[in-house]
Amino acid sequence: MNLTNKIAIVTGGAVGIGKEISMKLASLGAVVVINYRSSAQEANDLLVEMQSLGYKGDLLQGDVSKSDDAQKLFDFTIEQYGRVDIVVNNAGITADNLIIKMKEEDFDSVINTNLKGTWNCCKQAARLMTKQRSGKIINISSVVGVAGNAGQTNYCASKAGIIGLTKSLAREVAKRNVCVNAVAPGFIETKMTQKLPADMVAQYAASIPLARLGKAEDVANLVAFLSSEMSDYITGQVIHVDGGMVMN
C-alpha cells in the first residue's frame, strides 16, 4: 500500500485508535492533518514523534460536532495542501448508563460528537471529493452498532447511525469515484481496557472466537487498506475488526 502525497484528515486522531490510524497513514506516505478537541498535549507529542520519523503531518484543534469547526478543518487542509484524498471519521465519546438512569445531555453529547460530527465531516468531504472525482471516506463505527450493548443506548445508536450514513452516502457519491466505508472495531486494547480488572478482560476474551482482544494496529491496517487504491472497488461496506465477536 502506497499513500505517497495523499492528503488525509483523521478526526480524533491524537489518541487511542485515532493515533494508530494517523501514524499508519503517515508511515505509508500520506500527509496527515490530525484533528483533536481536547488532547492538545497528546496531539503535539504525536506530531513531534511523526516528524522525528520523517513523516508529514499537521494539527488543528476543533469540535467536529459543530459545523463551523468541521468546515474550518477542511478549509485549513485545502489552504495548506490543495486537496483532501482521505477522511477518517474517528472522533467519538462515551457516556454509558442504563437508559432509565441516563441523562438527556449524555444522550445528546454522544449523538452530537459521534454521529453529527461524522455527518458534518462527511458533508465537507463529499463536497470536495465529488468535485475532484476521487476520494476515500472511512467512518469508524463499532460492532455494538450492529449487536447492541446494555448500558450504551446512546453510543450504540450513534454507531448504528454511522452505518446508515455510510451506506447512504456511498450511494450518493459512487458515480463520482468516491468510496465510503465503515469499520466496526470490537474489543480493542486501549488505555481504557488496560484499566479493567484482569478477570474481566479474560472473560471478554473468552467470548471472542479468536480468544484475544484486538490491537489498535488491527484497525489501522484496515483503514490503510480502505484508504489505498487496493480498495477502489469496495464501497458501502461495514467491515468488522473484532476477532469474530459479531458475525452477520
Q: Catalytic residue positions?
A: 155
User: The C-alpha cell of 189 is what?
Assistant: 486494547
Give which of 188, 163, 180 is closest to 226, Cα–Cα: 180
Q: What is the torsion angle, in degrees rounded to the nearest 10, for the CA atoms of residue 183, residue 187, residue 193 and residue 198?
A: -170
User: The C-alpha cell of 146 is what?
Assistant: 450492529
Please report where in the chains the cell 494508530 appears, as a residue: 20
Contact 42, 64 (CB under 8 A): no
Count of residues in the chain: 248
Residue type at 122 in one-letter notation = C
